[in-house]
Amino acid sequence: MARRNTTGEKCGLEREREAQQEWLDGRAQEITGTGVARAVQRELFDEPAGGDGKGPPQAPWQTIEDPAERLAAFASDSHQPPSKRSEADGVLRIRRQRTGIFDSLTALGEPEIIPLGVLMLLPSVVTG
């Protein structure tokens, strides 16, 4: 019975982990955009991106596929608005917390039977 409960719990946690990944994908899409190159304002002496100088410069984080890495790079991009960078950092912080919780909950071992005590029978004393 304990094994069935443990297996069911692990399946539930895996579904929750998948839902968490979908949430991260959606938040990364909302914060960083669809991957379309946004214009990055360059400083006066910055080198042109791409070397050929054609087209708008592209931020390095725009080519990253993994949503967590993309948000981390976005959060460290000083050309982005502070509010969006803070939002990306907050999403990553929540993800780290939830991942830690999932990891601790999925680290379930085999159920262990532990004796709780010894039954003690005391003779009844007949008082006369």
Write down the number of H helices and E strands in the chain.
Answer: 3, 0
Q: What percent of the chain has pLDDT over 70?
A: 70
The better pLDDT of the pair 69, 119 is held by 69
Residue recorded with tokens 């899409």: 29
* Predicted local distance difference test score (pLDDT) of residue 53: 53
Residue with tokens 């982005």: 80
Over 60: is that where the pLDDT of 37 sits? Answer: no
Give, in order, the Cα–Cα distances in Å from 106 to each of 18, 66, 82. Answer: 14, 23, 36
pLDDT in tens, 69-108: 999 999 998 888 899 999 999 999 999 999 998 888 877 6
pTM: 0.62
**Which tokens in the block code for residue 79?**
């050309």
The CA-based dihedral angle spanning residues 35, 37, 41, 43, taken in that order and rounded to the nearest 10 degrees: 100
Q: Which of 69, 77, 74 is nearest to 41 (CA)?
A: 77
Domain boundaries, the chain: 2-106
